[in-house]
Chain A
Amino acid sequence: MKKFLLPLLVLSLAACSGGEQGESDVIKIGYIGPMTGDAGSYGHDTKKGIDLYFQEHPTIQGKKVELIYEDAICNSQSAASAATKLVNIDQVKVIIGGQCSSETLGAAPVTEQHKVILISPVSSSPEVRDAGDYVFRMYPSDAIVGQTLAEEALKYERIAIITESTDYAEAYHDSVLHYLVQAQEVTPVVDEIVQPNTADFKTILQKVQNAKADVLLSIMQTPVKSGILVKQAAELGITAQIYGTDTLAGDDFEQHAKNAAKGVKMVIVAEDDSRAEVKEFKKVFGNFQAPVIFSLKSYDAAHVLADAIEAVGYDSDAIKQWLYDMPGREGLGGPIEFDEYGENNSQAGSVKVGVEDPATGRIVFELLREEP
């Protein structure tokens, strides 16, 4: 055991000396997101949205902004480690993250304990509502967006649901089921779960077909899974209308689903394409790997946070209060106002459908025009 004492001593000196953070000339902002893995497209786009904001506004209160990125692979354990590292070693007081709900739920206990602001641009699980006092989010709760999905499902007779057993998907599923069963007393004919480590849906899809379902809700953790499901459904000749959640679309989805994505619908918060600022943002951003709304929300998160720090300084309690007290404002991704839980539920879900882009032959998702 003695041989461990010396390195431990050195480590402790190193750790302690880095500890004291008095007045610094840098504003550190942490980022937690899925930079790698099946949800990598989200990490990529959300990071880019935040980077874009700080490229345009590199300083707050005259001090330079330093972004510290941590990869949480859409996983709550990794997010907890990432948060621990950001809070303990980098000594950040504000974190923009997580992106996947799993990440936010994993990071929150750590950030709450250390009174660090955690503002998530796109986490939507209803569980995030109670994740903590210092936790805020920009994207509406699945309890709200999920209701749109449930309402869509109710347009059909026989509802089938396939859910991945992960925290985001299960919570979303519970919201939808709650609405269907409790509010409308409708029971799905098929309500199946798939393991997260597998991607062979064929037998479950057969069950859906056998039950003569006419609508299939696919609640998956990542676009990859959604893509594989849609592909296999098309091969099997499944006739039910497929609906996905916010986690459906993206480059990865397209890679797997290809032309089978045509006609697939998804429920997601939609950006207002008619606004000039949004058009401008899209032009500057370039190529999107995930739905545009995600980058817009991250940009907005960065903006709101920067304004908070500018107003009250790098003090998490003051920032927290400022955010709660913030009057409603219009972000690029839609209205922003935080309620007493730190939620921003000012938007409902919209329905998008996969249509063939005549120019490229690829399937893109566009807002569904309601028929009269």
Chain B
Amino acid sequence: MDYLLHIAILSSIYSLAVLGQNYASGYTGLISINHGAFMGIGAYAGAILLKWYGVPFPVAFLAAGAATGLAAWLLSFPLLKLKGDSFVLVSFGFSFIAFNLFLNWRGLTNGALGLKAIPGPELVNLLDNTKIIFLAILLALILITLWGLHKILQSSYGVVIRATRENQKVTQIAGHCTDSYRRSVFVLSGVITGIAGLFLASYISTIDPTLFNYHLSVLLLIMAILGGLASLKGSIAGATLLIVLPELLRFLGLPNSILAESQQISYGLILILLMYYRPVGLFGTYKI
């Protein structure tokens, strides 16, 4: 039972992160490989405040969102000037730079030693099994985000965003400042993913820079593509599948020495098969 809650919580955290990723990548065509770094920023911002300044959780929540939003905003200036493959490359590069910062800025992040004993929301202590309320908070957050994003995408603002994805030039000619639209999407996607990062930090209670390197960014993108770009429920599906599948492999009784590699090979196979047969992913509507 505890184990199921554990899987459910991880799936929820990643689902939230992928909602952020998909919002940027699926709906705006910004195929970014830096959301792992965003999770890291949210995680570290919240963890530092929670652990060393003892702030109440809601404050850390706001701080995580704000810090990541700020980082996304700053990053958007150089990044949004680029298109297509160059965007992908620089975004990928940012995940390395962010990793270096997490690792080297020892005064702030404690470097390779990481942060330990990060507290979670006080609410979870209401029940003996802290996981239950933690999961409940996450699910509520996911629902709110789903509802919020849905509303945004349905609005006239959302129409412009999708138009920008299809053809930026035409949208500009129609009179829209596409850059500020794309920037706002990027920032919001960062905020959402940053908050997911905070919950990750609180849940596993120890974080270190290696958690947030390019592997995480790639994983988030794969989850988004698998579930389907430009599909909100696809984000959740993709995240959950890629959390549950490796756990299933564990039960196959594979000898330990090849388990990790087998999991990775299965990721690779999924990617290739997806790209070959169904690049839109499970529920997606946007073809890259």
Beta-carbon contacts under 8 Å, A197-230 to B: none
**Chain A interface SS verdict (over half):** helix
Contact with A along B211-243 (1 / 0, CB 8 A): 100000000000000000000010011001000
Contact B3 A170 (CB under 8 A): no
- Given the known interface contacts A88-B2, A88-B3, the answer about A165 and B206 at a Cβ–Cβ threshold of 8 Å is no
Are B113 and A127 in touch, CB under 8 angstroms? yes
* Interface window among A65-73, A138-146, A353-361: A65-73
Residues in A with CB closer than 8 Å to B111 are 165, 170
Distance from B11 Cβ to chain A, minimum over Cβ atoms (Å): 10
Do A109 and B116 touch across chains, with their CB atoms under 8 A apart?
yes
Q: Mark A143-173, 1 if CB is under 8 A from B, else 0.
A: 0000000000000000000000111011100
Are B6 and A88 in contact (CB-based, < 8 A)? yes
A80:B204 contact, CB within 8 angstroms: yes
The one of B6, B104, B251, B257 that contacts A165, using a Cβ cutoff of 8 Å? B104
How far apart sit A69 and B256, CA to CA, in the bound complex (Å)? 8
What's the nearest-Cβ distance from chain A to residue B226, in Å? 14
Interface bracket on A: 35 or more
With both chains docked as a complex, state the minimum distance between the C-beta of B172 and any C-beta of chain A, in angstroms: 39
Also in contact, A171 and B250, with CB within 8 A (given A15-B1, A35-B256, A71-B257): no
Closest B residue by C-beta to A11: B4
In the assembled complex, the Cα of A169 lies from the Cα of B2 at a distance in Å of: 35
Contact A76 B104 (CB under 8 A): no
Whether A165 contacts B1 by the Cβ 8 Å rule is no
Interface: A284 (CB within 8 A): no
Are B117 and A36 within 8 A (Cβ)? no
Instruction: Report yes or no: A71 in contact with B260, Cβ–Cβ below 8 A.
Output: yes
Q: What are the residues of chain A within 8 A of B260 when measuring CB–CB?
A: 36, 71, 73, 78
Hey, which chain B residues are within 8 Å of A169, CB to CB?
112
Considering the chains assembled together, what is the distance between the CA atoms of A4 and B240 in angstroms?
10
Q: Mark B77-105, 1 if CB is under 8 A from A, else 0.
A: 00000000000000000000000100110
Chain A 115-153, CB-CB to B under 8 Å as 1, else 0, gives: 000000000000100000000000000000000000000
Pair count A-B, CB < 8 A: 72
**Chain B, Cβ-Cβ closest to A78:** B260
Interface flag for A12 (CB, 8 Å)? yes
Inter-chain CA distance A171–B237, complex, in Å, is 41
Indicate if B205 sits at the interface (CB-CB under 8 A): yes
The answer on a CB contact under 8 Å between A19 and B1 is: yes
Q: Which of B3, B204, B210 contacts A89 (CB 8 A)?
A: B3
Are A109 and B112 in touch, CB under 8 angstroms?
no
- Whether the Cβ atoms of B205 and A16 lie closer than 8 Å is no
A167 touching B1 in the complex, CB below 8 Å, given contacts A71-B260, A76-B210, A84-B6: no
B114 at the interface (CB under 8 A from A): yes
**Are A16 and B1 in contact, CB atoms less than 8 angstroms apart?**
yes
State whether A167 touches B117 (Cβ < 8 A): no
Is A85 an interface residue when CB atoms closer than 8 A count as contact? Answer: yes
Taking CB atoms, residues of chain B closer than 8 Å to A85 are: 250
Q: A79-93 CB contact bits vs B (8 Å, 1 = yes)?
A: 010001100110000
Which A residues lie at the B interface, using CB under 8 A?
1, 4, 8, 11-12, 14-16, 19, 35-36, 69-71, 73, 75-78, 80, 84-85, 88-89, 105-106, 109, 127, 165-167, 169-171, 193, 195
Q: B residues near A, CB below 8 A?
A: 1-4, 6, 100, 103-104, 106, 111-114, 116-117, 204-206, 208, 210-211, 233, 236-237, 240, 250-251, 256-257, 259-260
Listed by A's residue number, 7 A-B pairs whose Cβ atoms lie within 8 Å are: A15-B4, A71-B259, A88-B3, A88-B6, A105-B113, A106-B206, A195-B103
**Extra A-B contacts (16), CB below 8 Å, given A77-B208, A78-B260, A169-B112:** A1-B237, A11-B4, A35-B257, A70-B256, A71-B256, A71-B257, A73-B260, A76-B114, A77-B210, A84-B6, A88-B2, A89-B250, A106-B206, A109-B117, A170-B112, A170-B113
